[in-house]
Amino acid sequence: MSAGSTPGDTEDQSGTAEEPDAPEPPLDPGDLETERDADTVASVAPGRRRAWPGVVVRAVVVLVVAGIGYQLVVPTSSIVRGRLSHLAIARTGTTNFPGAPAHAGEQAATTGSLAAMEAATKAHPGQTGLYVVQWTTKASSSDGLVVVTFLLPDAPTASTVRSQLATSQLSPTAFSQSGLVRTGQWAPAGIAGAAGSLYGPAKGATGPGQVGVTVWQEGRVVALVEVLLASGSPRADATTAAHAEAALLRTAVPGFTLSVTRHPMVASVLWLVGTAAALLLVAGGPVAFRRRRDRRALRLQEELARTIHVRGATIVRKRHGT
């Protein structure tokens, strides 16, 4: 400082004096809490909302795969020959043969006159069969009614068998060995493609009676009705029984099969338990993992929210209630 100078001169030379900084407003804990909650919701809630579509997709995939796998692995199929009985009537509806049949059962398809039937039996044993139902009367031991059904693998094969059967059973000499000749023919009304023949003793000859036979086809099944009466015409009984059998075949043949599918109880329960476990693991596992990760992130955010840096100093807020 030179002689004669004054304090005012010193201030003018050094410039204006610095004013002290205004104190910053105190931190509002409520604002910090609000910011922390907003950050938590923004980081955690959207992840939870996005998780549900993925859960649904994974659950659907597990159920579809489990359902397909169940159908491929668990069910067992087997051929039940007794199902052939579903193709034959149990009552004829006739007056001469009103009761239950005297005999019913499967017979071997080994007749030389039906080559197509024998070939189909060898090639497709699980899709072919021959079933016979027979009625008798107490009035006469020679009277009888027979219904025979031939199950074939397909309709074309059945058509071939029907032609061979008509040749052997409806021809003029079909019962010549029994001393009978064909005395007439008829077509049962209401049965598509049905044909019938009547047989009786030749003029001046004696025989066991009269025979009426009718043959027709329904899909992959060929049916034959044969009636033998010691006295009287068998045409009425043959027609009545044929109508009953035709009505049955119209409903039984579509979708008919000798194969039966079973679902074992133990295997089904085990598969159900395994499916439930897979559903929890695949569909619920990622959700549980994501929630665990969100909880970790939430704890980290809480720790960061309680740590505040102000002018290089670190302030750690205590948890509520401590």
Residue among 185, 118, 198, 106 at smallest CA distance from 152: 118
For residue 146, tell me if it sits in a domain: yes
Query: Is residue 26 a part of any domain in this protein?
Result: no
The reported pLDDT for the residue numbered 236 is 95
70 within a domain of the structure (yes/no): no
Q: What HEC string does the chain produce?
A: CCCCCCHHHHHHHHCCCCCCCCCCCCCCHHHHHHHHHHHHHHHHHHHHHHHHHHHHHHHHHHHHHHHHHHHHHCCEEEECHHHHHHHCCCCCCCCCCCCCCCEEEEECCCCCCCHHHHHHHHHCHHHCEEEEEEEECCCCCCCEEEEEEEECCCHHHHHHHHHHHHHHHCCCCCCHHHCEEEEEEECCCCCCCCEEEEEEECCCCCCCCEEEEEEEEECCEEEEEEEEECCCCCHHHHHHHHHHHHHHHHHHCCCCCCEEEECCHHHHHHHHHHHHHHHHHHHHHHHHHHHHHHHHHHHHHHHHHCEEEECCEEEECCCCCC
In a domain, 272, yes or no: no
Q: What is the pLDDT of residue 216?
A: 97
How confident is the model at residue 12, as a pLDDT? 46
Q: What is the pLDDT along the chain (322 residues), one digit of tens a residue?
A: 444 444 444 444 444 444 555 555 554 444 444 444 444 444 444 445 555 677 777 778 888 888 888 788 877 778 899 999 999 999 999 989 988 999 999 998 776 678 999 999 999 999 999 999 999 987 777 899 999 999 999 999 999 999 999 999 999 999 988 889 999 999 999 999 999 999 999 887 777 789 999 999 999 999 999 999 988 889 999 999 999 999 999 999 999 999 887 878 888 888 888 888 887 777 666 666 667 777 777 777 776 766 665 555 555 555 555 4
Q: Does a structural domain hold residue 118?
A: yes
Residue 230 sits in which domain range? 79-262
- 155 part of a folded domain: yes
Number of structural domains (the chain) is: 1
Hey, what's the torsion of the CAs at 172, 174, 179, 184, to 10 degrees?
-40
In a domain, 154, yes or no: yes
Query: What's the CATH code of the domain at 146?
Result: 3.40.1000
Evaluate whether residue 311 is within a structural domain. no
